[in-house]
Amino acid sequence: MLGRKIARHGLAIVATALIGGFLSATLVRFAPGFDSDEAQLDPHLNSSSVQALRQARLEHNNIFRFYALSMTRALRGDLGNSISLGQPVSTLLRDRAPLTLRLLGLGLLLSWAAVLALALSAAKLRVAIYDGAATVASGTLLCIPAAVLALFSVLWNLPGALAIALIIFPRDYRYTRNLLGKGYSLPHVLAARAKGISETRILFWHVVPVVAPQILAVAGVSVTIALGAAIPVEALCGFAGVGQLAWQAALARDLPLLVNITVLVTLVTLLANSGADLIGSLWRSQA
Amino acid sequence: MKTWRIVACLVLLLVLGMSLAASWLAPAGYARQYRDAVGAPPSHAHWLGTDEIGRDRFARLLYGTRISLLLAPAAALFSTLMAALVGGLAGYLGGIWSRIAMAVTDLFLSLPWLFLLITVRALLPLNVSPLVSVLVTFLLLGLLGWSSAARVLCSATSTLRNSDFVRQARASGIQGTRLFWIHVLPNLKPVLYAQFWISIPAFILSEANLGILGLGVAEPLPSWGSLLKELEGLISVGEEPWKFVPLVLLIVVVTSFQLALSNSDEVAA
């Protein structure tokens, strides 16, 4: 059962990579300005060099051929060259990925620590004022654009990871609070409480096993949110990570770089969601 | 809750009304430069001061609000229609069509929203006229923001397809398009309304994010995104607090939308 599920997720990831790659190649191929190359305007080039450049461009005219070439190169680890930065995309990603991973990891850790602490205390205490205050705080954060939170972190000299945590927190808090609230109001939990079982035991033996798979799914989705948050935070806080690279590529219309980043980010997202789903399934089967 | 919803609706109406009356409240317009009052603090002549090239911030806020509040619903309408088409048909047809449509939807959903937006925005020329940039920004939001709504609509349509009254209609000989238009689509109205209203604040926030990153509405046209971009140059919060007015207004408007739609969330779920 689990093996089949892993195979299905694996297939979905491969299919997404292939379809996503094809769509990206199509978008790059048909983007305005693809046919023109400013290198052809270089007065230092002779006519045969210009002709060679034109010939190289012509080879990309057929979208399927263009896709096949891109895929073959990608399989060899060659993701092409960045137009704006003049460096191989794979080198750029290799250099910048560690910083982004560190930032996102820390942001996710901070946000989930806050989400679990607040949601658990709100669900357990059931004090209207406390619950209301937490809801208002998360609701307000939800109404502030991610880029503004990034600007505030610059303004107040706060760590970038905190800005990412603040962007993720309100989205996860709402779901987690509702899940835990439902978990605590289940009949068997009420019966356990009536029998005088300790709160810690109720939490770990009766609530967590029920809500954990769904919270894991929310955790998987929060990776997607964190990746999206990396763009404004890195761009506005000046972190040289993948998010900033994507933003610079967008401003420079560096499509090969941008499209490769997007496909890779999609794969990371799918891996995170599939991982969360598989762990959730494993948890359910063990329970 | 009902009182809060009424207050939220009144706030939205007030903000919309003021933005629509922008040409009356700020007759000089959003692009006029007061060169003798560049970067001026709030005064009787300029309620929110002027920006670094001498344009009246209050006028820009009113016109920017108008753009965001009129075009976000237009984008939301477009995305809801696309979601109805993709999700509704997928749920109605079922089988392989549903699986294909949901696979495409999953592909869209697995992309972080901002990555998708800036990628597609970058595919289009950035150096365009302000009016084109407004249209491109909001059209993109509409074109790309349909996926989660399509999933909800597919599930709702799938439930409707197997409901008793649709089965009875089918048994009575009503088939295909007529069944979809007459019996299925009208029953999807609550979900469609909910998805439409939920999309508006999401699109307003997305435009603001794009604007701050320099990929939104082009100058000199104002929008909440371009107005919030001014916060980038601040050194401290207390330095020029009036620069926070667009942010406060944005939070008030988005919160009002959330409050006004508090029961739409339940319908959408």
The per-residue pLDDT for range B172-190, each reduced to its tens digit, is 888 778 888 888 888 889 8
Of B111, B231, B255, nearest to A151 by CB-CB distance is B231
Q: How far apart, in whole angstroms, are the C-alpha atoms of residue B12 and residue B260?
A: 9
User: Taking CA atoms, what residue in A is nearest to B237?
Assistant: A155
Give residue B186's pLDDT. Answer: 87
User: Taking CA atoms, what residue in B is nearest to A136?
Assistant: B255
A232–B250: do the CB atoms touch at under 8 Å?
A: no
pLDDT surpassing 80 at residue A87 = yes
Q: How far apart, in whole angstroms, are the C-alpha atoms of residue A216 and residue A66?
A: 39
A258–B237: do the CB atoms touch at under 8 Å?
A: no
Distance from CA of A231 to the nearest CA of B (A): 8
Average pLDDT over residues B198-216: 91
Of B112, B208, B251, nearest to A140 by CB-CB distance is B251
The per-residue pLDDT for range B148-172, each reduced to its tens digit, is 889 889 888 988 888 898 889 888 8
Give residue A234's pLDDT. Answer: 94
b/e code A33-71 from CB counts within 10 Å (16+ = b) = ebeeeeeeeeeeeeeeeeeeeeeeeeebeeeeebbeebe
Per the DSSP assignment, residues forming a β-bridge with B56 are B50
The per-residue pLDDT for range A12-70, each reduced to its tens digit, is 778 877 777 777 777 767 766 666 666 677 777 788 887 877 776 666 667 677 777 77
If we measure between CA atoms, which residue out of B211, B200, B237 comes closest to residue B69? B200
Of B112, B124, B212, nearest to A148 by CB-CB distance is B212
- B213: which chain A residues are within 8 Å (Cβ-Cβ)? 147, 231-232, 235-236, 247, 250
Give the DSSP H/E element, type plus range, for residue A106: helix A89-125
Higher pLDDT, B238 or A191: A191
The per-residue pLDDT for range A202-216, each reduced to its tens digit, is 888 989 888 998 899
The winner for highest mean pLDDT among A76-90, B34-48, B173-187 is B34-48
Residue B205, CA atoms < 13 Å, CB-side half-sphere: 27
B115–A262: do the CB atoms touch at under 8 Å?
A: yes
Chain B positions contacting chain A at CB under 8 Å are 103, 106-107, 110-116, 118-126, 201, 205, 208-209, 212-215, 228, 231-232, 234-237, 247, 250-251, 254-255, 258
Best residue in B111, B113, B116 to probe A by mutation, most A CBs within 10 Å?
Answer: B111
Give residue A60's pLDDT. Answer: 63
pLDDT surpassing 50 at residue B269 = no
Distance from CA of A45 to the nearest CA of B (A): 27
B125–A33: do the CB atoms touch at under 8 Å?
A: yes
Average pLDDT value over all residues in chain B? 87
Best residue in A27, A227, A262 to probe B by mutation, most B CBs within 10 Å?
Answer: A262
Give this complex's ipTM: 0.87
Residue B46 token pair: 């300029």
Distance from CA of A241 to the nearest CA of B (A): 14
B125–A139: do the CB atoms touch at under 8 Å?
A: no
Of B120, B121, B251, nearest to A143 by CB-CB distance is B251
Region class of B109: left (phi > 0), else alpha (psi between -120 and 50), else beta:
alpha
A228–B113: do the CB atoms touch at under 8 Å?
A: yes
A143–B118: do the CB atoms touch at under 8 Å?
A: no
Q: What ranges in A126-207 are assigned the alpha helix state H?
A: 128-142, 146-155, 160-184, 187-194, 199-201
Q: How far apart, in whole angstroms, are the C-alpha atoms of residue B170 and residue A9?
A: 37
pLDDT surpassing 90 at residue B57 = yes
> In percent, how much of chain B has pLDDT > 70?
97
pLDDT surpassing 60 at residue B266 = no
